Amino acid sequence: MITLDNVHKHFGPKRVLQGVNLTIPRGESMVIIGGSGTGKSVALKSVLGLITPDQGLITVDGKDASKGDRDKFLARFGMLFQGGALFDSLTVWQNVAFRLLRGSLKRPKAEAREIAIEKLRRVGLTPDVADLFPSELSGGMQKRVGLARAIAAEPEIIFFDEPTTGLDPIMSGVINDLIREIVVEMGATAMTITHDMTSVRAIADKVAMLHDGVIKWTGPVADMDQSGDPYLDQFIHGRAEGPIEAVR
Amino acid sequence: MSLTAPIAAIGRQTLAFMALIGRAAIFASQGLSHIVRPPFYGREFLVALLQIGWLSLPVVGLTAFFTGGALALQIYDGGARFSAEAVVPQIVAIGMVRELGPVLVGLMIAARVTSSIAAEIATMKVTEQIDALVTLSTHPMKYLTAPRVLAALIVVPLLVGIGDIIGIFGGFVVGTGQLGFNAATYIKNTADFLQFTDILSSLAKGCVFGGIAAMMGCYFGMNSGRGAQGVGQATKGSVQAAAVLILAANFLLTSLFFSS
C-alpha cells in the first residue's frame, strides 16, 4: 500500500503540492487525473524519491519511502515514462534487460536477453526488434519497449506517466489494454497519471482528481460520472466553464 | 534606479558565480569519490575511453602537427633577429612539451569531448533518461560521470604525450624540409634539451585538463535546463567553463612546476 500524507512541494514561488493525501491499496490501479501543471508528475516522482517533498510523509507498505536501502526499495518498482526514456546508446533488449544486467537483480547475459525477448513478446513486439536501437522504432513501439522495461524485473508496483501521450487513438487503446492486462496478470499495484479519459476508464480501479495542489476527489472509477464534484465534472466532460479556470 | 544598483548587480553576479564554483566543486568531489567506490561500469568506461581517446586522435594530431610546424617557422624568423636561428629544435621541443601540447590538447578536448558529454547528458536529462536510470536502481553519477571522468584522467595524458611527439615532428618536418636543418642534429638537439620534468609536467597537465574537461561536461549536462534551449546552454556553458578552467589550471601548474 502506498500512502501520501500531507505532502507539500514548491518550486520557487510556485506551490505545486499543497497537502496531498492519497492511499493506493495493494493490488489496485489508481489513476491520478488533473490538468497540465497541477503536480501529477511531481506526486509520482516524489514517491520514487526523484523529487524530495518539502513536507509530509510518503510510505510504502508502512515504511517511510525516503529511508532505508534505495536499491532494494527501487527494485520493487517499474516505471513507464511519458516519452519512453529509452537509452539511445543501448539496443532494445539491453534497455528492457537494463536492471537484469547490473545491480542486485543481475542475471547472466543470455538469460537477461531471453527474459527481455519474452517481455517484448508480452507487449506485442517480435524478437527481431531486440537488436534495434530506440531511434529506429516508432513512438508506439518505443512505448511498448518502455512498458516491457517497466515489467522486466516483475515489480510489485508499476507507475505509468502519461502512457498514451503522443499516440494515435488506436495505439492508445492497445497500450491501455496492455497496461490493464499486465497489471491484472501480475497483481501489481499501479499508479498512473494521465489526462486521457479513455485511459482512465480502461486502466483505473480508482481515480483521484488533483487540482490546486490537493486531491479534490477520489473514488472508484464507476462512481466518477456521478460524483457531483464540480471540478471532476468539468474535467471529465472537458468543459471550458466551471470552477477550474481555463486560460484562453 | 538608485546609484547602488550597478554595484548590487555586480554583487549578485559575483554571488551567483561563487555559488556555481561551489556547486561544481561539490559535484567534482562526488564524481571523483564514485570512481573508487563500486559498482563499476566497465562497458561505459571502455566506451568513454574510445570516444575521448581514440576518436580524438585525428584532431589532436592535426592540431599538434600544424602548431609544431608554425612554431618552428616563428622561432626561426624571430631568432634570426638576434642570430639565434639554431635554437629552433630546442624551443619547439620545450614549447610543445611544456605549454602548447597540453594546452592545445586540453582545449581540443574541451571543444570536442566536453561539448559532446554535456549535450548527451543534458539530452538524457530532458528526455527523463536520468530519472529512468534512478528508477532502475542505477546512480547517474556512477553510471554517467565516473566512467567518463576516469577515462579522461587516463587517456588525455596519453593524448598530450602523442600531441607533444606529433608537434615536435611537425617542427622537425618544417625545420629539415624548409629551414635547412640537418635531421640527425635536429633530433639530437631536441632529445638533449628536453628534461624529465618537462615531460612529467606535460602529462600531469594532461591529467588535470582531462579531468576538468570531462567533469565540466558532466556537471553542465546534469544541471541543464529544460528543452532544446537548456541543452544548448549546457553545452555552451560547459565548453566555456572547461576552457577557462583549463587555462587557469595551466597557469597554476606551470607556476608549481617551473616557478623556481
Residue corresponding to grid cell 620534468:
B197
Nearest chain A Cα distance for residue B39, angstroms? 8
| Residue A48 cell numbers, joined | 520514487
Tens of pLDDT, residue by residue over B157-193, are 999 999 999 999 999 999 999 999 999 999 999 999 9
CA B72/CA A211 separation, integer angstroms: 71
pLDDT class for A68, splitting at 50, 70, 90?
confident
Q: Is there a domain that residue B33 lies in?
A: no
For residue B231, which of B132, B115, B109, B140 has the smallest C-alpha distance? B115
| Residue A16 cell numbers, joined | 505545486
Q: Is there a domain that residue B182 lies in?
A: yes
Q: Is there a domain that residue A10 lies in?
A: yes
Quote the pLDDT of residue B189: 92
Nearest chain B Cα distance for residue A82, angstroms? 9
Above 70 in pLDDT, residue B64?
A: yes
Q: Is there a domain that residue B4 lies in?
A: no
Nearest chain A Cα distance for residue B154, angstroms? 23
Q: Is there a domain that residue B16 lies in?
A: no
pLDDT class for A139, splitting at 50, 70, 90?
confident
Q: Is there a domain that residue A107 lies in?
A: no
Interface predicted TM-score (ipTM) of this complex, two decimals: 0.88
Task: Report the pLDDT averaged over residues A207-222.
Answer: 93
CA B241/CA B257 separation, integer angstroms: 24
Q: Which residue of A has its CA nearest to B126?
A: A85
Q: Give the one of A79, A83, A88 whose C-beta lies nearest to B135's C-beta.
A: A79
Above 80 in pLDDT, residue B238?
A: yes
Q: Give the one of B41, B127, B135 whose C-beta lies nearest to A74's C-beta.
A: B135
Which CATH number do you get for residue A170?
A: 3.40.50.300
Task: Report the pLDDT averaged over residues B73-101.
Answer: 92
Residues of A with CB under 8 A from a CB of B: 45, 48-50, 70-71, 74-75, 77-79, 81-83, 85-89, 98-99, 102-105, 149
Q: Is there a domain that residue A25 lies in?
A: yes
Coil/strand/helix, residue A168? coil
Residue B73's CB is within 10 A of a number of other CB atoms, namely: 16
Range of the domain at B217: 39-255
Quote the pLDDT of residue A248: 59
- pTM across the whole model: 0.87
Range of the domain at A41: 2-76+155-237
What's the total number of domains in chain B? 1
Q: Is there a domain that residue A147 lies in?
A: no
A&B contacts, CB < 8 Å:
50
Q: Is there a domain that residue B233 lies in?
A: yes
Residue of B136, B138, B139, B141 for testing the chain A interface, max A β-carbons within 10 Å: B136
Average pLDDT over all residues of chain A: 91
pLDDT class for A114, splitting at 50, 70, 90?
very high
Q: Is there a domain that residue B237 lies in?
A: yes
Quote the pLDDT of residue A131: 96
CA B119/CA A127 separation, integer angstroms: 32
Q: Is there a domain that residue B90 lies in?
A: yes
**Greater confidence, B106 or B258?**
B106
Rg (CA), chain A: 18
Quote the pLDDT of residue A16: 92
DSSP string for A105-166: G---HHHHHHHHHHHHHHTT--GGGTTS-GGGS-HHHHHHHHHHHHHTT--SEEEEESTTTT
Nearest chain B Cα distance for residue A87, angstroms? 6
Q: Which residue of A has its CA nearest to B138?
A: A103
Q: Is there a domain that residue A123 lies in?
A: no
pLDDT class for A247, splitting at 50, 70, 90?
low
Q: Is there a domain that residue B211 lies in?
A: yes
What's the total number of domains in chain A? 1
Q: Is there a domain that residue A64 lies in?
A: yes
Above 70 in pLDDT, residue B14?
A: yes
Q: Is there a domain that residue A127 lies in?
A: no
Tens of pLDDT, residue by residue over A1-24, are 999 999 999 998 999 999 999 999
